[in-house]
Amino acid sequence: MIEQNPWPTERAGRSTVLAQFGQARADLMQWALTTGDVLADAVVAEMHQIGMKQARPVLSRGIREGLDSLTDPPPAVEALLRQTESVPGYVDDSLLDQGPMPFYTSPLPVHIIALNAGSLIRVYESPSISKVLTTTGRLVDSAQRRIRETGAWHAQVMLPGGLRVGQPGYVATLEVRMLHAHMRRLALDRGYDSSADGCPINQVDLGRTWMDFTLTAYTAEELLGFGLSNRELADLYRYWWYIAHLLGIDARLVEGITGNEAAARLDAVFQTVTGPVTEDSALLADATLVSVTSALHGMLKVPRGLARPALNAITRRVHGDSMCQDLRIPAAPIADAWLGPALSGLALARDRRRRDPGRWQAAIDQNLAATRSVLARPDQPTAYQRGATGSHD
């Protein structure tokens, strides 16, 4: 067996993973827990060596205009861009243009609720991620901005054609990847304990987060009455393989997954080595739910006094009572009883639209137009736009 870094002491032991999932999975998890993003991390080291003032414009141009736009690029920048511009064999024009279209069978408020009450809360369940945010001073004080910016990135990567080199989704994804690399270095400089928790923002954290934008989100949307067919799920998962490629997530962790059942099997391995939630996770969960209450009111016309209890009820349906108890998300039996008929009505209306091709396509067109409209609104530069080139250091 290839020599690996020691198993982090605060994660479930290797013997636990070995007993439940076998040696191959145990070996992969040991590597993933102790590995960040070799190519992006090398770029950050190179930027500090060259000097940020000189390196930032080179990296920014390479991300936006491609490797061929650079003359004699620094070696680490060249290696990173060569990897991101080397398109895997499963990627073609159909995937780039049509792969994300099942996303638009649901309206924007559904995605907002699923992203926040589903995806982000589960991201923040990870103690290592919350520790990185605490160590780098980016916990609750910037949670609202981070939530908004995550939504903006998510919308950009899901635009048809958005992942082609130089397009907004591609650019934003590489900026997020570079922000992760800068955060790794910052966390380590400020005392993050890799021997206990593994490499900051490691491959397990990245793979588990990928699951939260796919498996957790699709599960949440189905609970909201907006389920997808097996074919639609397969298209979206394949599209997200490519997002993983651009984010620097190892292909062994995600490629080949085409449905929720296969995703859940691998996600169980990630969850086993993630560890229990912390106080910081509960603080982040509350901040996340605060940000999405108005979206729930708009989608279901929930009375404002009932909006947060209804959101709590949805969150408990997605994550389960035990996890929500750890996150201090209270039960809301009255709101939960009210939700049942409301969500059943949404599912019935969706089923009727699906049976009418004209209405179904009109809804897709409307939802896509709504996303484009939101992205067209002027906004401040995001943290990943600033942080991609190290301007936060």
Residue 19 falls inside a structural domain = no
* CA distance readout (Å), 337 to 219, 222, 299, 314: 20, 18, 17, 11
Residue 16 lies in a domain: no
Q: 73: alpha, beta or left, given left = phi > 0 and alpha = psi -120 to 50?
A: beta
- Give the separation between CA 136 and CA 152, rounded to whole angstroms: 22
Residue 44 resides in a domain = yes
Number of domains in the chain: 1
Question: Pick from 212, 199, 208, 244: which is nearest to 33 by CA?
Answer: 199
Torsion 329-183-393-78 (CA) sign? negative
Does residue 392 fall inside a structural domain?
A: no
Q: C-alpha distances in angstroms, 32 versus 59, 78, 327, 386? A: 26, 24, 26, 27
Residue 170 domain boundaries: 38-387
Number of other CB atoms surrounding residue 391 within 10 Å: 14
CA distances 383 to 81, 259, 281, 285, Å, are 21, 32, 21, 20
- Tens-level pLDDT at each residue, the chain (393 residues): 456 889 998 888 889 999 999 999 999 999 999 999 999 999 999 999 999 899 999 999 999 999 999 999 999 999 999 999 999 999 999 999 999 999 999 999 899 999 999 999 999 888 888 888 877 766 655 667 778 889 999 999 999 999 999 999 999 999 999 999 999 999 999 999 999 989 999 999 999 999 999 999 999 999 999 999 999 999 999 999 999 999 999 999 999 999 999 999 999 999 999 988 888 888 888 888 887 776 666 666 777 678 889 899 999 999 999 999 999 999 999 999 988 999 999 999 999 999 999 999 999 999 999 999 999 987 766 666 665 556 544
Alpha-carbon torsion 187, 134, 203, 288, what sign?
A: negative
* Nearest residue to 389 via CA among 144, 79, 61: 61
* 177 within domain boundaries: yes
* Residues 298/275, Cβ–Cβ less than 8 Å: no
> Residue 28 domain-assigned?
no
Query: Residue 22: inside a domain, yes or no?
Result: no
Q: Is residue 356 a part of any domain in this protein?
A: yes
Tell me the Cα Rg of the chain.
21
In Å, what is the CA distance from 29 to each residue of 124, 142, 198, 200, 240? 20, 31, 11, 14, 21
DSSP string spanning 22-69? -HHHHHHHHHHHT---HHHHHHHHHHHHH-HHHHHHHHHHHHHH-GGG
Question: Cα dist. 294→220, 298, 299, 389 in Å?
Answer: 18, 6, 9, 34
